């Protein structure tokens, strides 16, 4: 899925969200990346636990909320609830960042979660995402702010058979568009990703430039939907 935003509108939205954009040629890196093994964030670090409801602000606890339902007929990925199917745990999933598309000072990625196990499980809701200094290091700046996907109703339940995937649109606003004094630009090697309702995280390698000032939002994430 691609998002295209008129430059004037993007600039106005950026001011309201404490984030902004620049030209398409941004500091955000593009291309496919792969995740390392699942990790648990240090107890002293501030993180975001993925959840199907409200935003969690602690790396050691998650919350749940309302969800929507849709239907799908594509491949082995379905949004139809299956009786007896459990929610995917972090150890059952791998993460990648693909399909970089620039628009109005932001780069839009597919944050893909794939069922690497042999059984079937489901994901539902928003992944928790933040920049980090190392796979098990401290988060950098603000965690990703949630945004609704206008093409779906609520947060669909996505059932994943072995090898199938769900993805979330992850928008990264160029840190270079902010004054250095309000951004605190810093290079980071990757992202910490919490699957919905999980306390353990995945690390996804992706060279980016983050804003270390937590009052400046440069990450925005949409709910998981079927496919990669």
- Give the model's pLDDT for residue 52: 58
- Give the model's pLDDT for residue 151: 87
What are the residue boundaries of the structural domains of the chain, listed by start?
26-226
Q: Which residues of 55-93 are buried (b: 16+ CB within 10 A; e: fewer)?
A: bbeebeebeeeebeebeeeeeebbbeeeeeeebbebebb
For 85-105, write each residue's pLDDT tens digit: 999 999 999 999 999 898 889
For 27-41, write each residue's pLDDT tens digit: 333 344 444 446 554
- The helix/strand/coil state of 119 is coil
Are 189 and 35 within 8 A, CB to CB? no
Cα-only R_g, the chain: 16
Are 113 and 95 within 8 A, CB to CB? yes
- Give the model's pLDDT for residue 38: 60
Q: pTM here?
A: 0.68
């Amino acid at each position: 899925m691609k998002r295209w935003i008129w430059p004037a509108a993007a600039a106005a939205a950026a001011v309201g969200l404490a984030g902004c954009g620049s030209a398409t040629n941004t500091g955000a890196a593009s291309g496919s990346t792969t995740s390392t093994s699942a990790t648990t964030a240090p107890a002293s670090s501030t993180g975001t636990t993925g959840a199907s409801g409200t935003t969690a602000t602690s790396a050691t606890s998650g919350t749940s909320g309302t969800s929507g339902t849709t239907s799908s007929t594509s491949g082995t990925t379905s949004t139809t609830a299956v009786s007896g199917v459990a929610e995917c745990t972090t150890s059952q999933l791998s993460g990648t960042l693909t399909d970089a598309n620039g628009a109005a000072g932001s780069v839009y990625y597919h944050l893909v979660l794939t069922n690497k196990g042999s059984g079937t499980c489901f994901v539902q809701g928003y992944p928790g995402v933040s920049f980090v200094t190392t796979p098990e290091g401290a988060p950098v700046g603000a965690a990703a702010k949630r945004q609704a996907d206008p093409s779906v109703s609520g947060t669909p339940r996505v059932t994943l058979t072995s090898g199938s995937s769900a993805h979330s649109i992850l928008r990264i606003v160029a840190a270079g568009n902010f004054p250095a004094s309000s951004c605190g630009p810093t290079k980071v090697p990757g992202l910490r990703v919490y699957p919905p309702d999980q306390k353990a995280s995945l690390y996804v390698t992706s060279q980016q430039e983050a804003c270390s000032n937590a009052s400046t939002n440069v990450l925005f994430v949409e709910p998981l939907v079927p496919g990669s």
